[in-house]
Structure 1
Amino acid sequence: MNQPESPDRRLDGWKSIAGYFRRDRTTVMRWARERDLPVHRLPGGKQGSVFAYERELATWARRAEQDDLADAPAAPEPEAPLPASSAPPPSAPQTQSLGTDAPSQSSRRWLWPSLGAVALAGVLAVSLPMLGGAQSPGEPRSEQIVPLPRDPKVASDYVAARDLWARRTPAALSRAIGLYERVIAADPEFAPAYAGLAEAWLITREYGAATESRAYSAAKSAVEQALKLDSRLPAAHRANGFIQYWWSYDAQRAVNSFQRALTLDPHDGLSHFWYANVLADLGQDAAAQREYDTAQLLLPGTPAIAIERACAHWQAGRDRRALIELNQLKAQYPDDATIRNCLAWAHISRGDIRAYAREFGELARLRKVPELLALAKKLDTAVVRNPATAHLVLVADAQREFAAGERKTRMTPAFQASSMGDRETLVALLRQAAMLGERWYSATLNKRIAQQWQGDAEVQALLNKVVIATPKVRLT
């Protein structure tokens, strides 16, 4: 039976353990799983930091100390219960160590004083503010410990897949997909692996060689299975919102999915980040900037957030600022395909087809997609021949994609034609879209087309037929 230690002895033990935590991040996460220590890990590779919230640590330390006192041989009187604001909710999940049975209650009791909980926030690399204030017992809680498969080898594959996914290179993403599939084959009931597989496919369509239809189809199938296994998995709702917005063009359902993900886990930086991208495209600039702020607090130093935020300046009409920041980022991250994509959009919106072709060519080179490389070559040839009509190469390719099921609306080629001052092509695309009942969701593109042709009644009337209403966005 455990004996309560003296405060001095416990503090000495804390000091030695704190020093060990500084050296061994892996041990921190293992102990977190085995002893319910409320530790969080930042994504982003093998060197990712771990951290803890001071309030959660204080609650954990008080609970652990009470357990120790309750287990003592001759406790004179039971201590008063914890106040409701700090007591852990009764439904908090119990975690298990990898490859072993759940540890017994006595083995989970540690003898650290509350003083140690305050110091731990500094020891575990970084302390972040509790967003949204104190949590009432009835509110949803974010997962304190990242779930892992029970089998150590399967868990190792899952962690490696997450790490590869974060690298955002074609080769790394391909390996990540293979590892996720191996995890699913070994543990088909592990819902996070399906959500991770979906995310890998979604990022592959941006950084790798997957076509839109292939990537979204695979991601949608994985998300559906993840939600079937765990309807409260935030990552699954996040990926679902991504698919609903960027592939299904169902803006309201996408907003609902992101808000569901953030209700389930308000401290998920990736959900805030992806939601910010959607809000920026919907023209909700103030809301998007707040979500980017939150994402940066939760995922500090993440290049992708800085890149998309710079692109969001263009979406909000701050073209000069967007170009300055994107070019600065290009100098920092010359091999990032998304920067080239954002720059290409910014350049063509100004009617600069030469700059568009330059960035598009680099995008194709980085992604190593044969179809993109071929299109880039055609575009370069067309620019040399006649810059005023070079955009028709892009329009023709978009029509090909539409026929093949790789594209669902004519919104992008219409914007390209509009930007280049090609009214004839724009009107033809608008008429086709209206006849087929297309719904154009991007407030950014719709607004720029409308502004380009303010005095043109026909263009305005056709545009009104395809533009959808902005979804209802609940701001928190």
Structure 2
Amino acid sequence: MSLGHMGSGGEYHLLNGWKDIAAFFGKDERTVKRWEKQRGMPVQRMPGTKGTVFADRHALAAWLNMRGTQPGLDVRVLPRVHSGLNGARSPGDAHEPSTAARELYLEGTYLWQKRTRASLTEAVDILQAAVALDPDYAHAHTALAVAHKLAGEYGATTQKLGYIRALEAVERAIALDPALEQAQTVLANIEFFWLLQYDRALRRFEHARRLNPNSALTRHWFAEALLFAGYPREALAEIDQAQHLDPQSRSIISAKAYILFALGNSDTSEQMLLKLASNEPDYQMAYKGLTYLYLARGDGGRYLEFLDRLVSLHPSGAARAIVDAGRKGLSSSGKAGMAEAMLDAAKHNGETGEVPAYGMAHLYALNNDASGAATHLQLALERYEGDVFDFIIDPAFKQVRTTPQFLKKVTQMGLPLVA
């Protein structure tokens, strides 16, 4: 859960209205409206409006390539998403990057592995310079895709813009080298967490793992997808391999702690997260995991303690007011009072967007309000907020997660249904 601001934005490659979407495909409006209804073409509607639609150009291109070419469609107008699932790299085709581009690639890779807003912003800049120097350097394009994806996840840019730019970079990487497992891994991550194509994504993760069983990134991101697809034991096996391959990665350690928490091993998860928080005080994932863990235990004081540490990393007046209200509510009326006071404080700021939609969904769920939780979870999905899938493991949703109203809404959104 994040109660801070959503991060800086940028320009999206949006098509506004049916006319633009139809022109993009070279079809009439009736055809593309039929594709949405019958074939699941991804479009979105403005909240609170009727009939006003928009779509991401790259999301439409990805959908097209996953569906297969439609009869009579001129695909020359589209950027292809080269799946590379059957691609093979010939030994003689290996690209030798320039020395300058390789040095930039190594520096950018080091920076994205740190996973902070500042390091990810710098990594994007450096890796853009690398691919500008050597446009045929597939590894650099892949690293740039990773940096863009993580920049969205960690708030250096919006989640949506991060995915769009990651897709652009990984398209180029796979076109250059279909057998590059990290590129396949990035595309699988996009398919799972952005395009909501779960089965296809899991197959691609398996393909990437076959290409290189010793890729820590592949094992790591495959484990996270397996967790949210409802396979926590299989996720644990993958994350164990990832940790063996890269024992120093704090993101792998935190992912393993989350998986252990989902499997009910909260004691080991707690030890790992507390140690990680102590050794890596600027790492937000440790604090978020501890908020979930102590909330599940019913320890409101510790929950608020680590929520306070989480929001302190990226200070926000709204988040501070919510934490302070929670402490007062807990002191006067226990956990129920804490939940009510936090939601009341959040409502004063929720309309402005200063509190992310998932943060609002978390607080509504904490108050056992299934309708409010589902409504704001949908809003979080529409905004491409990175925490959306957390409802599967977030203990605030324990009661509302199984209500018919909530389950129906989740099904309509296309999110995974996990008991």
TM-score normalised over the length of structure 2:
0.63
Q: Which 5+ residue runs of structure 1 have no aligned equivalent?
A: 1-89, 97-146, 435-439, 472-476
Aligned to 1:93: 91
* 1:57-456 superposed matches below 5 A: 93-94=91-92, 149=97, 151-207=98-154, 209-349=156-296, 355-366=302-313, 368=314, 373-384=316-327, 386=329, 387-389=338-340, 390-391=342-343, 413-423=360-370, 425-426=372-373, 442=389, 445=392, 452-453=399-400
Q: Which amino acid aligns with 1:391?
A: L
3-state SS of 1:184 partner:
helix
Going from structure 1 to structure 2, the CA distance change for 1:322 and 1:395 (only over 3 Å counts) comes to farther
Residue 208 of structure 1: CA displacement? 5.3
Residue identity over aligned pairs, in percent, reads 24
Q: Deviations over 1:361-395 (max 9, x none)?
A: 433443x4xxx623422322432454232135557
Residue 247 of structure 1: CA displacement? 2.8
Q: Is the contact between residue 377 and residue 388 of structure 2 (CA under 8 Å) also seen in structure 1?
A: no
3-state SS of 2:214 partner:
coil
Q: Which 5+ residue runs of structure 2 have no aligned equivalent?
A: 1-87, 330-337, 382-386
Going from structure 1 to structure 2, the CA distance change for 1:205 and 1:355 (only over 3 Å counts) comes to farther
Residue 300 of structure 1: CA displacement? 3.1
Q: Deviations over 1:343-362 (max 9, x none)?
A: 23334455656544443443
Matches of 2:320 and 2:177, distance apart in 1: 46
Aligned length: 317
Residue 198 of structure 1: CA displacement? 1.1
Aligned-pair Cα RMSD in Å: 3.9
Structure 1 window deviating more from structure 2 (285-294 vs 354-363): it is: 354-363
3-state SS of 1:378 partner:
helix
Q: Which amino acid aligns with 1:279?
A: L
3-state SS of 1:334 partner:
coil
Q: Is the contact between residue 207 and residue 338 of structure 1 (CA under 8 Å) also seen in structure 2?
A: no
Residue 318 of structure 1: CA displacement? 3.3
Residue 248 of structure 1: CA displacement? 3.0
Going from structure 1 to structure 2, the CA distance change for 1:317 and 1:222 (only over 3 Å counts) comes to same
Q: Deviations over 1:13-44 (max 9, x none)?
A: xxxxxxxxxxxxxxxxxxxxxxxxxxxxxxxx
TM-score normalised over the length of structure 1:
0.56
Matches of 1:443 and 1:166, distance apart in 2: 22
Q: Is the contact between residue 394 and residue 413 of structure 1 (CA under 8 Å) also seen in structure 2?
A: yes
Q: Deviations over 1:203-242 (max 9, x none)?
A: 2334453222232222122112222322222111111122
Q: Deviations over 1:226-284 (max 9, x none)?
A: 22322222111111122222333332232122122112222212101111111122221
Q: Is the contact between residue 121 and residue 156 of structure 2 (CA under 8 Å) also seen in structure 1?
A: no
3-state SS of 1:244 partner:
helix
Residue 288 of structure 1: CA displacement? 0.7
Q: Is the contact between residue 198 and residue 223 of structure 1 (CA under 8 Å) also seen in structure 2?
A: yes
Going from structure 1 to structure 2, the CA distance change for 1:276 and 1:182 (only over 3 Å counts) comes to same
